[in-house]
A and B are shown apart, each in its own frame.
Chain A
Amino acid sequence: MQTAIMIVANYPLYIRSVPTQGELKFHYTVHTSLDVVEEKISGVGKALADQRELYLGLLYPTEDYKVYGYMTNSKVKFVIVVDSSNTSLRDNEIRSMFRKLHNSFTDVMCNPFYNPGDPIQSKAFDSIVSTMMVQAF
Chain B
Amino acid sequence: MSPAQWDLPPELCCRPVAFVALTGLDVVYNAIHRAIWDAFCANRRADRVPISFKVLPGDNEYPKCRTKRTSYEWYIPKGILKTGWMNKHLNLVPALVVLFYELDWDDPQWKEKQSECATKVEIVRTSLQGRNTKVAVVLIQKKTPLPPGEDLVASERASALCGACDLSGKSLFVLPHTDHLVGYIIRLENAFYEHAQTYYYNEIRRVKSHKEFLNKTTHQLLFVRHQFKMGFFSELKQDTQNALKYYRTAYSLVHELRAHETNMLEIKTMAGFINYKICRLCFQHNTPLDAIAQFRKHIDLCKKKIGSAELAFEHTAWMSKQFQSFGDLFDEAIKLGLTAIQTQNPGFYYQQAAYYAQERKQQVGQLCSHEPGVGYPAPDPLETTSGALDFYGQRPWRQGHQSIDPPDSEKEKQGILALQVKERDIPHSELIIALLSNAVAQFKKYKCPRMKSHLMVQMGEEYYHAKDYTKALKLLDYVMCDYRTERWWSLLTSILCTALKCSYLMGQVKDYITYSMELVGRASILPEEQKSRIEKNLIKVLMNEVPEPEPDCDPLSVKTAQSLWSDRISLAGSNEFTIEVQDYVPFVQCKAKFLSPSFHIDEPVQLHVYVRADCPHPVLYSKQCTTLFSVDVFELQEYNQYCLLEDASKGKDILEPSTQENMCLVPGKTRKYCFKFVAKTEDVGKKIEITSVGLMLGRETARYVYLNWRGGWGDAASSHETLQACRSFKKRTRFPEQQVDWDTVTIQSSLRIISRVPKISVQLTHEPPALTNEMYCMIVTIQSGEDTVAKDIKLTAGLKPGQDANLTQSTQITLNGTEVCDDSHPALLPDIPLGDLHPGQKIVKPLYIHCVSTGSRILLFHVAYSVSATVEGKDITCKCHKDETVTLETVVPFEVAMKFVSSQFEHLERVYVDIPFLLMMDILSASPWPIELVNSEVQLASSMNAIDQPQSQVEGVTLQTSECASECFLLKCPPVQNGTSTVASGHYIISWKRKSTFAETSVVRTIVTLPHVMVENIPLYVHAELPSFGRVRESLPVRYHLENRTGLVQDVEITVEPSDAFMFSGLKQVRMRILPGAEQEMLYNFYPLMAGYQVLPQLNINLLRFPNISNQLLRRFLPSRIFVKPQGRNGDTSIEAA
Interface residues of A (CB under 8 A from B): 10-12, 15, 23-24, 27-28, 31-32, 34-36, 39, 59-63, 113, 115-118
Contact = CB atoms under 8 A, between A and B. Distances in A.
B449 A35 contact: yes
A35 B447 contact: yes
Contacts of B490: 12, 15, 23-24, 27
10 contacts: A11-B486, A31-B491, A32-B448, A39-B342, A61-B348, A115-B727, A115-B729, A116-B727, A117-B727, A118-B724
Contact of B488 (A11, A23, A60, A118): A11
Nearest to A37: B450
A47 B1060 CA distance: 100
B342 A36 contact: yes
A36 B343 contact: yes
Contact of A32 (B344, B454, B720, B727): B454
A126 B344 CA distance: 35
A15 B488 CA distance: 12
B451 interface: yes
A115 B724 CA distance: 7
Interface in B945-983: none
A35 B487 contact: no
B491 A115 contact: no
A60 B343 contact: yes
A24 B488 contact: no
Contacts of A62: 348, 352
Contacts of B352: 62-63
A5 B724 CA distance: 24
Interface in B423-471: 447-451, 454, 457
A35 B348 contact: no
Contacts of B42: none
A118 B728 contact: yes
Nearest to B292: A61
A10 B343 contact: no
Contact of B730 (A28, A32, A60, A115): A115
A34 B490 CA distance: 16
A39 B486 contact: no
B343 A59 contact: yes
Nearest to A26: B490
Interface string B566-601: 000000000000000000000000000000000000
A62 B454 CA distance: 14
A116 B720 CA distance: 12
B1072 interface: no
Contacts of A116: 727
B228 interface: no
Given A35-B451, A115-B724, A24 B348 contact: no
A116 B729 CA distance: 12
Contact of A39 (B299, B447, B491): B447
* Majority secondary structure, B binding face: helix
Interface in B174-226: none
Contacts of B723: 117
B483 to A, nearest CB: 8
B494 interface: yes
Given A28-B454, A32-B451, A113 B730 contact: yes
Interface bracket on B: 20 to 34
Q: Report which residue of B449, B451, B454, B491 has the largest number of chain A beta carbons within 10 angstroms of its beta carbon.
A: B451
A35 B452 CA distance: 10
A2 to B, nearest CB: 15
A34 B449 CA distance: 9
A81 B730 CA distance: 33
Nearest to B490: A27
A12 B486 CA distance: 9
A27 B493 CA distance: 12
B355 interface: yes
B450 A10 contact: no
Nearest to A9: B487
Contacts of B299: 63
Interface string B728-747: 11100000000000000000
B637 to A, nearest CB: 40
A63 B296 CA distance: 10
A118 B348 CA distance: 33
B481 to A, nearest CB: 14
A115 B728 contact: yes
A62 B343 CA distance: 10
Contacts of A31: 450, 454, 486, 488, 491
Contacts of B494: 24
Contacts of A115: 724, 727-730
A36 B343 CA distance: 7
A66 B454 CA distance: 18
B727 A63 contact: no
Contacts of B730: 113, 115
Contacts of B449: 35
A24 B491 contact: yes
B339 to A, nearest CB: 15
A113 B730 CA distance: 7
Nearest to A118: B724
B727 A12 contact: no
A96 B723 CA distance: 34
B498 to A, nearest CB: 12
Nearest to B720: A117
B724 A27 contact: no
Interface in B486-523: 486-488, 490-491, 494
Nearest to B727: A115
B726 to A, nearest CB: 10
Contacts of A59: 343
A31 B495 CA distance: 14
A27 B727 contact: no
A12 B728 contact: no
B1117 to A, nearest CB: 91
A12 B342 CA distance: 23
A23 B489 CA distance: 13
B1135 to A, nearest CB: 102
Nearest to B493: A24
A73 to B, nearest CB: 19
B355 A63 contact: yes
Given A39-B342, A61-B348, A63-B355, A34 B487 contact: no
Contacts of A60: 342-343, 348
Nearest to B443: A35
A36 to B, nearest CB: 6
Interface in B697-747: 720, 723-724, 727-730
Contact of A35 (B342, B720, B728): B342
Interface in B297-356: 299, 342-344, 348, 352, 355
Nearest to B494: A24
Contacts of A11: 486-488
Nearest to B483: A31
A39 B348 CA distance: 17
A73 B355 CA distance: 36
Q: Most A CB atoms within 10 A — which of B447, B450, B720?
A: B450
Nearest to A38: B447
Interface string B233-251: 0000000000000000000
Contacts of B348: 60-62
Contacts of B344: 61
